[in-house]
């Protein structure tokens, strides 16, 4: 086995170890992201954020325009697992809805369209 073959084998082995390590960490975030529903999208007046695992009172929401500036929006807790975000006053276009729940160490960003 030549030098480059040995390096390729070592790299492949180390890469698979990293992949195995990631498999144990990432599924929790993927499961949490799948348990979040954002509707309607596109929206005209309000966007509803429904979470299965987080309590609405623990979730912090920020809305950012496409270049990253934070937009001022009103939020209202509808029930234990749902928040309503008022997007009526935003200009038409794409926005990023950032969710943060420190109690379960979750952060996620979702793209929404305001019509």
pLDDT tens across the length of the chain (115 residues)? 555 555 445 445 555 454 445 554 444 544 666 789 999 999 999 999 999 989 999 999 999 999 999 999 999 999 999 999 999 999 999 999 999 999 999 999 999 999 9
Instruction: Put the strands of the sheet holding 70-71 in their side by side order.
Output: 70-71, 60-65, 93-101, 106-114
User: In the CATH scheme, what is the code of domain 36-114?
Assistant: 2.60.40.1220
Total-model pTM: 0.71
**Is the Cα torsion angle 25, 98, 35, 33 positive or negative in sign?**
negative
């Amino acid at each position: 086995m030549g030098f480059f073959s040995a390096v390729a084998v070592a790299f492949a082995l180390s890469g698979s170890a990293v992949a195995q390590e990631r498999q144990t960490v990432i599924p929790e975030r993927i499961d949490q992201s799948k348990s979040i529903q954002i509707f309607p999208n596109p929206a005209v007046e309000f966007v509803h954020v429904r979470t299965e695992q987080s309590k609405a009172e623990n979730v912090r929401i920020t809305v950012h325009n496409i270049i990253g500036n934070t937009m001022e929006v009103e939020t209202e807790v509808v029930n234990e697992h749902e928040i309503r975000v008022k997007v009526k006053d935003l200009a038409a276009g794409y926005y990023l809805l950032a969710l943060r729940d420190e109690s379960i160490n979750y952060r996620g960003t979702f793209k929404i369209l305001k019509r």
